[in-house]
Chain A
């Protein structure tokens, strides 16, 4: 099986790559459309600005091959952190910037609270509450902890999309699932055994 990590100049590819290489799969990392076309599964990760990420995907001519993979071929694709956010319609980050529009959702910024406990960015370990059954979360306990680093969150247009929900200042969608398209706000590659189990589940989809 070929898993492809899209390299579009945004973020920590090494960690995810290392975690995947512990499993019995071949991993490609590149910014080439060919590798997207040849892949069985894709991971879209990223940290940084939404607008810059979309600009990079656009400049590298990757939007069409990615959309073809996700919407026409309907093969499994997992968005992590900013990668999850890019799958939505638009983000508040950097004005109102269009996303890949695969998922009916918008990306919003946490509103500042007065609480000294809940500052922004949301950095650290938080529990996720499972909202619907999924093959991605098989074997995970019902109140698993994952590692988060983000200031913006995904607000789905429909509750049916929500896979995990978490609470920080407010409740927010920490994972979504729509057919073959998965997005997680947290970092499975940095989340001890639970994270590795989730990546294994993704590989067996």
Chain B
């Protein structure tokens, strides 16, 4: 039976693992390779690694880090951070990543999405869309450069454009929900998921398993990603890498009597 993937998202800053709230207030979590070892042990479905400073520092996520993750990981992983050429994608794949996650550069130069999908195949190319609110505007917009720059795109518009250009899946990340653990932006996730025929991954706001269930059952996401959930434990947010048991994660697909 096919089931939705549950995906820890690991943020890298100076090659250390950090976690943010609303794309700010970075807190040191630990060593990324150590985290990968623990997720191996816990049999995580898939991992996402994002270098959050790469674009602003004009570089790409470190090949060395990807290679070290690649040596450890017993599961697939995707990487993002400053990927802006076909050579970049070739490099991250050759270091062991399954998929390349494109963001700022690709959103500014959408033809790159098509080039990338043509060259490496759709299933290798992921678009991460950071969704935020513009000042005094009600509707959501796509942001680039770690939430610093607003673009002209509405999320559904960009998602459909990306699908047309050959992107294989889309990560929908809510900037305002990031690190809050108050639940996903289900309306946003459903609007995008229902508008495209490629898989979508929900990210931003998960605080518990029921949030995962809602992202899947109400938001129609095909993959469910989170940051804080997998690295914090308890109300005081003590750092503890964790992953739900198979029994707990089966609640994500369980039918709800009240629905």
Q: Which residues of A contact B (CB under 8 A)?
A: 11-15, 18, 47-49, 112, 116-127, 147, 149-151, 167-168, 187, 190-193, 195-196
Please tell me if B80 contacts chain A, counting CB pairs below 8 Å. no
Question: Is A124's CB under 8 angstroms from B75's CB?
Answer: no
Write out the residue numbers on chain B whose beta carbons fall within 8 Å of the beta carbon of A196. Answer: 74
Chain B binding site: helix, strand, loop or mixed by DSSP? Answer: loop
CB distance from A145 to the nearest CB of B (A): 8
With beta carbons under 8 angstroms apart, the residue of B5, B96, B97, B119 that contacts A48 is B119
A167 to B169, CA, bound (A): 20
In the assembly, what is the distance between CA of A147 and CA of B123, in Å?
A: 13
**Residue in chain A with minimal CB distance to B201:** A123
Compute the total of residue contacts between A and B using a CB distance below 8 Å: 108
A123–B223 contact, CB under 8 A? yes
Chain B residues whose C-beta falls within 8 Å of the C-beta of A191 in the assembled complex: 74-75
Residues of A within 8 Å of B223, CB to CB, are 123-124
In contact, A190 and B75 (Cβ under 8 angstroms): yes
Q: Is the CB of B220 within 8 A of A116?
A: yes
Given contacts A14-B94, A116-B193, A149-B98, contact A192 B75 (CB under 8 A): yes
A48, A121, A147, A167: which contacts B199 (Cβ < 8 A)? A121
The minimal Cβ–Cβ distance linking B216 to chain A, given in whole angstroms, is: 9
**Count of B residues near A, CB < 8 Å?**
42
B162 to A: closest C-beta gap in Å: 14
11 contacts between A and B (CB under 8 A): A18-B70, A48-B120, A49-B121, A116-B194, A119-B198, A121-B168, A124-B222, A147-B46, A149-B123, A150-B123, A191-B74
A16, closest chain B residue (CB): B96
Nearest-neighbour CB distance to chain A for B106, whole angstroms, equals: 18
Let me know if A47 and B124 touch, CB within 8 A: yes
Does B152 count as interface, using CB distance less than 8 angstroms? no
Of all chain B residues, the one with the shortest Cβ separation from A123 is: B199
Chain A: which residue is nearest B77 at the CB level?
A190
Complex Cα–Cα for A120 and B67 (A): 28
15 further contact pairs, Cβ within 8 A, besides A11-B93, A119-B199, A167-B2: A12-B93, A12-B94, A14-B67, A14-B95, A15-B73, A119-B200, A121-B168, A123-B123, A123-B223, A124-B2, A124-B5, A126-B1, A190-B73, A192-B40, A192-B43
A192 to B196, CA, bound (A): 31
Measured CA separation A25–B121 after assembly (Å) = 32
B45, B118, B220: the one within 8 Å of A124 (CB): B45
Q: Judge if B56 is at the interface, Cβ distance under 8 Å.
A: no
Quick check: B74 and A190 within 8 Å, CB to CB?
yes
Check A48 against B121 for contact (C-beta < 8 Å).
yes
Q: Does B138 touch A at the CB level, under 8 Å?
A: no
Query: B169 contacts which of A48, A121, A168, A192 (Cβ < 8 Å)?
Result: A121
CB within 8 Å of A: which B202-244 residues = 220, 222-223
Contact B45 A125 (CB under 8 A): yes
Q: Mark B53-93, 1 if CB is under 8 A from A, else 0.
A: 00000000000000100110111100000000000000001
**Chain B positions within 8 Å of A116 at CB level:** 193-194, 220, 222
B147 contacts partner chain A, Cβ-Cβ < 8 Å:
no
A190 touches B76 (CB 8 A): yes
Do A121 and B123 form a contact, CB below 8 Å, given A12-B98, A147-B76, A190-B76?
Answer: yes
Contacts of B119 in A (CB 8 A): 48
- Complex-state Cα separation, A159 to B97, whole angstroms: 34
Chain B residues lying within 8 Å of A15, measured Cβ to Cβ, are 70, 73, 96
Set B76, B120, B121, B198: member contacting A187, Cβ < 8 A: B76
Q: Using Cβ atoms and an 8 Å threshold, which residues of chain B touch A187?
A: 76, 98
